[in-house]
Structures are given as C-alpha cells and as structure tokens.
Amino acid sequence: MADAGVVEELLRRVERADGGVDSLDVASGLGEEHQLIVGAVKSLQALGDVISAELRSSKHWALTEEGAEIAEQGSHEARVFRSVPSEGLAQAELMVESIEDQVREKLLLVQTGSSSELEEKEKNELKKRKLLSEVTVKSYWITRGSSFSTTITKQEAELTPEMVASGSWREKKFKPYNFEAMGVAPDCGHLHPLLKVRTQFRQIFLEMGFTEMPTNNFIESSFWNFDSLFQPQQHPARDQHDTFFLADPALAHEFPQDYLDRVKRVHSEGGYGSQGYKYDWRIEEAQKNILRTHTTAVSARMLYKLAQQKFTPVKYFSIDRVFRNETLDATHLAEFHQIEGVVADYGLTLGDLMGVLHQFFTKLGITKLRFKPAYNPYTEPSMEVFSYHEGLKKWVEVGNSGVFRPEMLLPMGLPEDVSVIAWGLSLERPTMIKYGINNIRELVGHKVNLQMVYDSPICRLDS
C-alpha cells in the first residue's frame, strides 16, 4: 500500500477538482516524486472503482547532462572567449570584440519550460549536438470512480479461521480475487544440458527410423568389447593405461562357445579371406571384465543376436556412457557419452555410409562435411568426419565412421553379402559447443554449478 498521507491528499485533490487531475501536477504540487503518486494511483485502483485513471503520454524537451552544464556555465565557445586574459592576448587579435551566447540562451528557454519559442530546426540542431533530448512522460489523468470516497477502508486479503469462527467476516470487505495473477513457481527438477542434447539426438535417430539398443550393462567382458570386434589382444587400447579392469568379479565365464571358437580361429589362424593376426589367442584375456570403452560392444551383441535368426535389414542406435583411463583435462574425462549409429543391409557401400552421414549431420544443422581416411581395427574402410566450423573458421573433427570388417561379421553368422556401416561421436563436445562451455569439468563432475543446470535453456538443434 502506498503512503497513507499521499493517498488521502490525492483523494482530496480529486474531490476538489471538477474534471480530474493529472498525476504530474499532483506530484509537483506536493513536492513528491511522480513515481510515488503513481504508486498511490495503483493502490486505489486495487480497491475497486474508487478512482478512474487514464494513462496518458506526453513529449517534452529536456536538457542532457552536457546541456545543463552549458545552461549554467555558458557554451564552450563563450567559455573559451571569456578565458582569454586581457594581458595575454590583445583583443584586436581575436577579431571580435564581444559574442552573443545563443546556445546558452536557447537551452535556458528549454530549462524554463519555454521550448515552444524555439523552432523545430533549432531544437533538432541542439539534439544533434547532444545538448537536448526528447523525453516521453507517462502520467495518469485521475477522476472520481463510481465508488469514490475520501475515506479508505482497508480491504482484507485473506479469510482467516478466526473470522469464520466469530462471524466477523460478514462485516469485512475483501479484495477481489485476481485470477490473472501469476502463482508461485513450483519447485521442480531441472534437466542437465547433457540430457537435453541427448533428447535431441535421440529424436533425430527415431525420425530416421532407427531402433534404440539396450545399453544398461556398463561392465563388459574383453571378449565382447575387443575380441568380437577383431581387435587383437596385444592392442594398446587393451592396456591398463587406457582401460579400467574390474577386480571383482575379475572374469566372465558365459560365452556362446561356437562363436568364441570362430573368433579365436579368425584371430590366430585367419579365415573368411583374411590371414588374421597370427598370434596365440588366449581365453584368459578375453574373460577379463572391464568398464566398457565404447558402446560398439553393444552393437556387437546386437549383430550377433541378429545373425541367429533369419536376416532382415536393421538400423540401430545407442547413446550411453563409456569409460576410458584418460588423463583428465579441459576436454577429456574418464567417463563420457558415446553416440553410435549402425545400419545392416545387403550390399551397403562407402557411398551409402556417406549418404547416411550427410542426412544425419544435416539434421544436426551441419551441412559442410569432409571425409578423411582413417584406421580402426574393426572397420575397413574407415573415415574421420570433419565439419567446417563457422565460428573458428576451420574444419574440426565431429565423428568417426566405417564399414565393419568381414572378420568381425562373418564369425557371427551374418550372410556374406550383408554389410554393416557405423559411425560414432561424443555427446559432450556438441553440448559444450551448444551451451558455450569451454571446460568439460564444468559440464560433468563435482565442479558443476547447479545454477547452470537450472538456467540452461531448452536445446534446439539448428536442423
């Protein structure tokens, strides 16, 4: 509620006035800030039809800070003229004996409320010099309402149990309920930026007709994570410097035996048109349990399952966490998310892979793509995918891709004329780019600012 004295004085002035009063005049007459009078008007409006207030706008000219200084001290030219000492510079050398400070005179007219005496051209000239500005003032024209009274009875805002018990509520006057008022925002959970971007990627895969793979097993045996992908047991990625090994349970024991034998054979002896790696493949290495280093282990399980039935073309995708023994820095964590897409069909080629990648990345808003030959143990040919970054003005890597090798697919039991194309990328990198985060540790981990999670907007990829 506004100041009671101001409200009462406002009501008295409205009562004395015939047609109404202007809030600016009331503020001037009371020597108060105009905003205080506006507050009193709002308080009276909340009481019902005590007053009627019409919002009006008017424009007037006002001096800027520099203009007020010139009005007080004179224009810059006049001050220069006055500052010339009589003993330092002969007046004859100035070529003028006196000056008329017209700029100051015009500004004083505005300051005293006589701006109407100036021509529009003169006002615009002063405005151009930033000595004058046109100000829009909003005020209220206040008149009596249908329930006008100079005596204000405070309206109750709440119906209390005491009022109900005593019956005093019958004599009370209550404020009308405002059905338009906004309620208090309820406390609720907030999605992490990673989950928002993940939702967008998932929607893109579903729009392209992909089926989501089950990825709820973070622990994998080395067999499914490495051996089934035709990755040799002496590969550096299988070293403790790159992989987290489990202590308990340390080993896995359940494998499809016939499939395991075929994988062992293609590693150690070759087959299916390959000479293999020619080493002594050991079951002990394949049994070691690890935290999966990529979701391709899930793809291997799904493709093996597909091979055990009559083949039909499929499109799979997964988005989930993987774990690697990385050195932590601004762009690397030991735990991150991998996005993977897999397509299995008859006669797929590298051209099909490029076409699917173009379609996939176009839906992400990435249209400028380049492909660079690369090496992966389980894909041949393999390609790194680069996109032109408009902000950085250079090509940056956005993913990896390839065609799964026959040494991986044929031991599973898939038909020889079936090809499988696949690609993958991280979830963290596009999230960091989307939300302008430079350090991955500010996105994931104990250093995450929860306020960032609350404030981050919904994700909309520019497809």
Looking at the domain assignment, is residue 100 inside a domain? no
Q: Considering the entire predicted model, what is its pTM?
A: 0.58
Looking at the domain assignment, is residue 428 inside a domain? yes
Looking at the domain assignment, is residue 4 inside a domain? no
Statement: residue 326 has pLDDT above 90: no
Averaged pLDDT score across all residues of the chain: 82
Position 166 scores a pLDDT of 92
> pLDDT of 219-254, one tens digit each?
999 899 888 988 888 887 777 667 888 888 888 888
Handedness of CA 123, 127, 130, 134 (dihedral sign): positive
Instruction: Answer with the residue of higher pLDDT: 11 or 338.
Output: 338
Q: What is the CATH number of the domain that holds 329?
A: 3.30.930.10
Looking at the domain assignment, is residue 366 inside a domain? yes
Position 458 scores a pLDDT of 60
Cβ-contact 61, 138 below 8 angstroms: no
- Span 133-146, average pLDDT: 81
Looking at the domain assignment, is residue 450 inside a domain? yes
Q: 3-class secondary structure for 16-47?
A: HCCCCEEHHHHHHHHCCCHHHHHHHHHHHHCC
Looking at the domain assignment, is residue 344 inside a domain? yes
The residue segments making up the domain with residue 403 are 193-455
Run of H or E including 372: strand 369-376
Statement: residue 436 has pLDDT above 90: no
User: Which residues lie below 8 Å from residue 121, measured CB to CB, with a gap of 6+?
Assistant: none
Position 121 scores a pLDDT of 85
How many structural domains comprise the chain?
Answer: 1
Position 1 scores a pLDDT of 47
CA proximity to 408, closest of 266, 256, 214: 266
